[in-house]
Amino acid sequence: MNPLKFQKQLLLAVLSSLTSFCLVSCGEKELTFSKDIAPIVYKNCTPCHQPNGGAPFNLISYTDVAKRAKTIAFVTRTGYMPPWPADRLYTHFLNERLLSESEIELIQKWATTGKSAGDTNQLKPMLSYKRQSVLGPPDLVIDVPPVTIENNNTDRFYLIKIPYQIKQAQYVKSVEFVAGQPSIVHHANGHLLLYDQLTNPFAGKRIIETNDSHFLAQFNRLELLNANGTKPERIHSAFNYLPGSFGVKYPNGIGGFILSPNGTFIANDIHYGPSKKALIDSSKLYVYFADKKPERPTFEIMLGTNGVAPIVPPLQIAPNAISKHITELTIYNDISVLTINPHMHLIGQQFKAYALKPNGDTVRLIKIPQWQFRWQYFYTFTKPVKIPKGSIIRVEAVFDNTIKNPNNPFNPPQLIGERNDHGGASMRTTDEMLQFILTYMPYQKGDELIDLGGK
Ligand code: HEC
């Protein structure tokens, strides 16, 4: 054999062995549910797609996912699922539920190439979805009095007194509202009431429907007033819940309060969406203790509806109009922002919040290019965001009250706006709101470095 020919043959041999080698192991390896798809689904989908998770069907077993593979490929490709309305190019938050390009690709491929199951014995250890709480096992569970929801397809608003008794006073880090019927609990905003003296928090009525009467009268009906007839002090927003929201537990030392041996929380204006089925909602409060006093207490600023900064122009949106509204507030101390919550109702379209520093720089907070009424998260930053004193926090929102907006509750469109009577207690989903809540602590040097997802 001449050397050239030999070399050529050798080359061919190497090439063919390479290709045959590739055929078995380095080409298109088979994608399986167990190895490739389940980790993505369990992390990003199953927290909602499970019994009690609020989504209409489970995504747990191989069959659950395989029989919907085509739709799943579609909703992940279009970004409809997992729901994450915040613009990921603007700012980042903890627990972002977003698929990477390669994860989306994997799902597309698996759905179109045989939907192989793989070794499903591997799945069990991965299934940590079973917790209803996002924060893990609580130190104390307080039952929220059960609420009966009629099948009459209307919104309901309640004030619910949630009394508790514990052996001794406790430092509390965090309280998570765990909805019993997540598909109809639209939101809950809760406070801890503070009394000098409270003999029996369990006395009196527990649940009343909010109505147009003054809230002192409503508190009176729940036997929640101080002995002298005044409204008790409170820890504001001791818990918050909105569809798809996560409980927040800041690192040790940040946030929290003292829970006295007996007392009561109040779910102030808990809102149930319309239901065609009669249901009983038995929600719970999961309470997480801290071993020591909070070193860095947290505070809240609320702009817009019911808040400290007015909306300009006032939030009354004429039929057939698309209108832009702004609310802004100057802050007079350096603050470290931990969590933010943008809130609008059905005809909200776009939401953007940022701070303008005295030197003209912008601190980005959040941008929601396409508002999704159903997904109103409390967004916690990965690290505290410093806003220096003298800055203006500014919120810009767009509302679309035309017939082109598929979420417009009225056809033909009607005037939609705020209802601010009695602190907004009579607000319906079909009324409109523009609200921005910031949870912050007074700034200290080094705050920008704190990992808010850490212990
Ligand atoms: C925060 C909760 C939540 C998460 C996370 C979530 N879903 Fe959903 N999903 C829902 C709800 C609720 C619905 C019902 C429709 C709606 O309200 O938009 C739904 C609907 C769907 C639908 C039906 C869409 C249709 O129009 O028929 C599919 C398919 C789906 N989800 C797949 C997924 C997949 C895949 C993931 C993960 C990549 C995921 N979801 C993550 C809550 C969630």
**Between 139 and 252, the higher pLDDT residue:** 139
Helix (H, G, I), strand (E, B) or coil at 444: coil
Name the pLDDT band for 244 (thresholds 50, 70, 90). low
Instruction: Tell me what pLDDT residue 61 has.
Output: 93
Residue 385 contacts by C-beta under 8 Å, 6 or more apart in sequence? 336, 337, 363, 365, 448
**Between 372 and 19, the higher pLDDT residue:** 372
Is residue 122 over pLDDT 60? yes
Ligand 1: centre distance to CA 50 (Å): 11
**Rounded Cα gap, residues 314 and 404, in angstroms:** 23
Cα dist from 450 to 174, 387, 416, 447, 453, whole Å = 18, 15, 42, 5, 9
Ligand 1: centre distance to CA 55 (Å): 6
Long-range (24+ apart) CB contacts under 8 A made by 18-27 are: none
Per residue in 32-60, pLDDT tens? 999 999 999 998 898 888 876 778 899 99
Which of 101-115, 160-174, 345-359, 424-438 has the least mean pLDDT?
A: 424-438
**Rounded Cα gap, residues 96 and 172, in angstroms:** 26
Averaged confidence pLDDT in the chain: 87
Ligand 1, atom 35: nearest CA belongs to which residue? 72
Contact 180, 148 (CB under 8 A): no
Query: In the chain, what are the domain boundaries?
Result: 33-126, 140-290, 299-449
Task: Name the CATH code of domain 299-449 (choices 3.40.50.2300, 3.90.1150.50, 3.40.50.1820, 2.60.120.230).
Answer: 2.60.120.230
Work out the percent of the chain whose per-residue pLDDT is above 90: 58
Ligand 1, atom 42: nearest CA belongs to which residue? 55
Instruction: Tell me what pLDDT residue 20 has.
Output: 38
Is residue 440 over pLDDT 90? yes
Name the pLDDT band for 136 (thresholds 50, 70, 90). confident
Out of 6-15, 113-122, 135-144, 392-401, give the one with best mean pLDDT: 392-401
Segment 331-337 mean pLDDT = 98
Instruction: Tell me what pLDDT residue 14 has.
Output: 45
Q: Which alpha helices (DSSP H) does 224-329 contain, by range?
A: none
Ligand 1, atom 11: nearest CA belongs to which residue? 55
| Nearest C-alpha neighbor of 132 from the set 176, 187, 81 | 176
Instruction: Tell me what pLDDT residue 18 has.
Output: 42
Ligand 1: centre distance to CA 319 (Å): 31
Token code pair at residue 230: 């005044």
| Nearest C-alpha neighbor of 77 from the set 57, 103, 54 | 103
Determine the residue of 49, 71, 134, 374 to mutate for testing ligand 1's pocket, defined as the one with the most ligand atoms within 8 A of the Cβ atom: 49
Determine the residue of 58, 59, 81 to mutate for testing ligand 1's pocket, defined as the one with the most ligand atoms within 8 A of the Cβ atom: 81
CATH class of 140-290: mainly beta
Edge-to-edge order in the sheet of strand 379-387: 299-304, 434-442, 335-344, 379-387
Buried b (16+ CB within 10 A) or exposed e, 12-44: eeeeeeeeeeeeeeeeeeebbbbebbbebbbbb
Is residue 3 over pLDDT 70? no
Pocket of ligand 1 (CB under 6 A): 44-45, 47-49, 54-56, 68, 71-72, 75-76, 81-83, 97, 99, 244, 374
Ligand 1, atom 31: nearest CA belongs to which residue? 81
Instruction: Tell me what pLDDT residue 22 has.
Output: 39
**E strands, 83-232, where?**
140-143, 147-149, 156-165, 170-178, 185-194, 207-209
Segment 116-129 mean pLDDT = 79
CATH topology match: 140-290 vs 299-449: yes
Contact 322, 402 (CB under 8 A): yes
Instruction: Tell me what pLDDT residue 241 has.
Output: 85
Ligand 1, atom 43: nearest CA belongs to which residue? 48
Q: What are phi and psi of 418, to 5 degrees?
A: -75, 150
Ligand 1: centre distance to CA 81 (Å): 5
Ligand 1: centre distance to CA 272 (Å): 20
Q: Around Cβ 155, how many Cβ atoms within 10 Å? A: 15
pTM for this model (two decimals): 0.83
